[in-house]
Amino acid sequence: MKKKTSSSKSRKSGARAKVKNSRRGPGKRTASKALSLASPKIITWELRLYVAGNTPNSIAAFSNLKQICETHMGGRYRIEIIDLLRTPQLAGGDQIIAIPTLVRRLPTPIKKIIGDLSNTERVLIGLDLKPAQIG
């Protein structure tokens, strides 16, 4: 039989003390809760670029997208290139009717932008990275 030491008792009473402290009321937070509430959720952008081979428009769309992502998303993005000449069946999943088309899968809602993405202002508004100006 093992003899209970005073350190095991203090651990148990310490655990109880933490539980009691967390029940003090809505205004009291433990340090871990306060830390999780203070740090914002990091958004990872999931983007799909539908292209048809190595055409000038496809190459321009990828280049423009890469530049926009590096400038405005701070490395928190993932780009998937889907070549519809190799896998045409993938066009149905995102209802692609023209190429190149960029599909923002995350964050939701899903957004689509058609073209070579050369109009940076329009792409930023389409991806909700910049608010649209009315008027």
pTM for this entry: 0.67
Question: What are the structure tokens assigned to 70, written together?
Answer: 């590096």
Give 46's strand partners: 78, 106
Reported as half-sphere exposure (CB side, CA atoms, 13 A), residue 22 has a value of 10
According to the model, what pLDDT value does residue 99 have? Answer: 95
**pLDDT tens digits, 26-84:** 444 444 444 444 445 677 999 999 999 999 999 999 999 999 999 999 889 999 999 99
In angstroms, how far is the first alpha carbon of the chain from the final one? 81
Domains of the chain: 6-38 (no CATH), 45-126 (3.40.30.10)
Average pLDDT of the chain is: 79
Could you tell me what percent of the chain has a pLDDT over 70? 67
What's the rounded Cα separation, in Å, for the pair 87 and 81? 11
pLDDT at 1: 53
Task: State residue 133's pLDDT score.
Answer: 72
